[in-house]
Amino acid sequence: PTLEGRWRTLAWPGRYTTGDKRADARRINTELRTISRLIVDPRWRGLGVGRRLIRAYLDAPLSPATEAVAAMGTCCPGFRAAGMTEF
């Protein structure tokens, strides 16, 4: 995950911004995973495939916290549909 995510203070207030950049970076890299890409073949879009893929990961995550940075989140609401909170 990116170390300087401005959204992170809204999502997890104080958890990853203690003022000690080294400790924050170590904690981010240990506790946080980022879904950076979700690509669904155009033939399968609109059928809930993306939502189900995201939900499958969130049901058995590899870390205590997961984030997704979605530049097109408003027109592709799969993350929200899968249960993630928008910030």
Helix H or strand E encompassing 86: none
Confidence of residue 87 (pLDDT cuts 50, 70, 90): confident
The whole-number pLDDT of residue 82 equals 92
- 17-45 pLDDT, tens digit each: 999 999 999 999 999 999 988 889 999 98
Q: Give 42-50's long-range contacts (Cβ < 8 A, gap of 24+).
A: 48/81, 50/76, 50/78, 50/82
Residue 60 contacts by C-beta under 8 Å, 6 or more apart in sequence?
none
- Mean pLDDT along residues 66-87: 83
Whether the predicted model's global pTM rises above the 0.95 cut: no
Count other Cβ atoms within 10 Å, centred on residue 32: 20
Please check the confidence at residue 76 and state whether its pLDDT lies above 80. no
Q: Which has more confidence, 74 or 50?
A: 50
The whole-number pLDDT of residue 27 equals 95
The whole-number pLDDT of residue 74 equals 72
Q: Which amino acid is at 29?
A: N
The whole-number pLDDT of residue 71 equals 75
